[in-house]
Amino acid sequence: MQQTINLREVNQNLSKFISSLHEGDEVVITKRGKAVSKLVSITEKKELSSIQHEALQRILSLKQKGYHLGAEGVNRDELHNETNGVKLNRKGKLEEGRRKVFL
């Protein structure tokens, strides 16, 4: 069941509205005729089905292992040189056709 009350009434009778909430009940709070908030009762934590529990365990396992996206590690110096128009090979040597840089 949903009740709609104004903010002034909530300020004066909050404990009354909280104690009247039952599982599934809602109290919509309005300010100047517009809904601004909702009070709802807290329901008990639901148990997961065996399928949901297994799925949760798989997700947590993947989270622990991490997921490799295929990218290589980033080297700060290589990144700096690339953004400044300089490309070094893996051995730190300037690639052919690029300008010479003194590091």
**Domain-located, residue 49:** no
**Domain-located, residue 100:** no
Classify strands 26-31 and 34-40 as parallel, antiparallel or unpaired: antiparallel
Count how many domains the chain has.
Answer: 1
Burial classification of residue 17, based on how many CB atoms lie within 10 Å of its CB (0-12 exposed, 13-18 middle, 19 or more buried): middle
Band (pLDDT 50/70/90 cuts) for residue 57 is very high
**Domain-located, residue 87:** no
**Residue 100 confidence (pLDDT) above 60:** no
pTM of the model: 0.40
pLDDT in tens, 67-79: 777 777 777 777 7
| Best CA proximity match to 78, nearest among 97, 103, 53 | 103
Does residue 64 contact residue 45 with C-beta atoms inside 8 Å? no
**Domain-located, residue 24:** yes
**Domain-located, residue 21:** yes
Q: What integer pLDDT is reported at residue 86 of this predicted model?
A: 60
CATH code of the domain in which 34 resides: 3.40.1620.10
6: containing domain? 2-40
